[in-house]
Structures are given as structure tokens and as C-alpha cells.
Amino acid sequence: MSKHFKTAFIIFLSIFIIDQIVKFGFANFDWNVAGPIMSLELAYNYGVAFSMFSFLQEYLKYIQLAIVFGATMYLYKNPDVFKEYYISVALLFAGGLSNILDRFTYGAVVDYFYWHYGFEFAIFNIADVIINLGVAIILYKQFKQARKEKQKTENS
């Protein structure tokens, strides 16, 4: 097993377990706390981001599993991509699979962070934050690589 895969697996497992424990707590105990800026408030999201596609509620878990399977096959056939983005992959898979497990366990994604200071924002969870972090890392690496390539061509 490669060093990158081991690291990615540890990141994946740690985040996945923590996220599921927190979601279990919100779904089964009264962990709601009202705050002046952000509140902890249980909500179920039957769609995806901002409750989009909630009309596909029964099918979303299968659609998302198919996407994860496709991404896994892509990474298997392109190990250089995995090696370059293994941390982001671990983050995306941990957050994504945790939210998919919610759909099988609770019938919807368990959300609980509710930002309401200055403006109302969607309720979200740790997995959502982790997914966004994974995407941000990919974008950062892409911009950094593009800048390096641009400088290389300008210096040639």
C-alpha cells in the first residue's frame, strides 16, 4: 500500500467517523443550541446543496453512489491524479460518503450549523465544510500550477 493511500485512508476514516458521531448526536439527542451569530439546529436536507433536487429524494443516494463509483474508477485508472490530489480526494470521499450514509440511515442528510447573523444562510454540516475544503485545495493547486506554467512560457 502506498504512503499516499495510507494517508488518504487515515484522513478519510477520521473525518467520516467524527462526522457520523456528531450527526448521530444531533439526530438522536437534543443538541440544539441557539446563538447570536450561529446556532446548532437539527435539520434534514432531502436534496443536495441548498435543498436543490429534493424532488429526487429517493434516488439521490443511488445517483451519488454512482458518481462516487465513477470517481473511484477514474482515480484507479489515473493513479497520477490520485497521487497529486490524495488529500483532496480523501476529504471529498469522507464528506460525500458520510452524507450518502445519512440518506440510507436517516432518509436525508443531517445538517446542524445554522448561520443567521446579518443574513440567513443554509443549514450545513461538517461533511459539507470538508467537501468545500477539498474543492478549495484542488482549485488552489490548479491556480498555482497554471501560474507556474504561465511563468515558464513567459521565461522561454
Domain presence at residue 104: yes
Domain presence at residue 108: yes
Per the annotation, the verdict on 128 as an active-site residue is yes
Prediction pTM value: 0.93
Quote the crossing angle between the two packed helices 126-154 and 3-28, to the nearest 10°.
150
Domain presence at residue 34: no
pLDDT recorded at residue 1: 62
pLDDT recorded at residue 147: 95
pLDDT at 4 over 80: yes
Grade residue 12 by pLDDT with cuts at 50, 70 and 90. very high
Domain presence at residue 20: yes
Check if the beta carbon of residue 20 is closer than 8 Å to that of residue 101. Answer: yes
Local structure of 120: helix, strand or coil: coil
Which domain, by its residues, includes 90?
3-29+41-148
Half-sphere exposure at residue 43, Cβ-oriented, CA atoms within 13 angstroms: 19
- Render pLDDT for 27-86 as a digit per residue (tens, 0 to 9): 999 999 999 999 999 999 999 987 888 898 899 999 999 999 999 999 999 999 999 999
Residues in the chain: 156
pLDDT recorded at residue 120: 87
Domain presence at residue 35: no
Domain presence at residue 36: no
Domain presence at residue 153: no
Among residues 19, 30, 102, 128, which one is catalytic? 128
Provide the domain count of the chain. Answer: 1
- Render pLDDT for 122-141 as a digit per residue (tens, 0 to 9): 899 999 999 999 999 999 99
- Render pLDDT for 139-148 as a digit per residue (tens, 0 to 9): 999 999 999 9
pLDDT recorded at residue 9: 98
Half-sphere exposure at residue 52, Cβ-oriented, CA atoms within 13 angstroms: 3
- The gap from C-alpha 68 to its chain's centroid, in whole angstroms, comes to 12
Domain presence at residue 154: no
pLDDT recorded at residue 79: 96
pLDDT at 110 over 70: yes
Mean pLDDT, to the nearest integer, of 85-92?
98
Distance CA 138, CA 107 (A): 30
pLDDT at 18 over 90: yes
Quote the crossing angle between the two packed helices 126-154 and 79-106, to the nearest 10°.
160
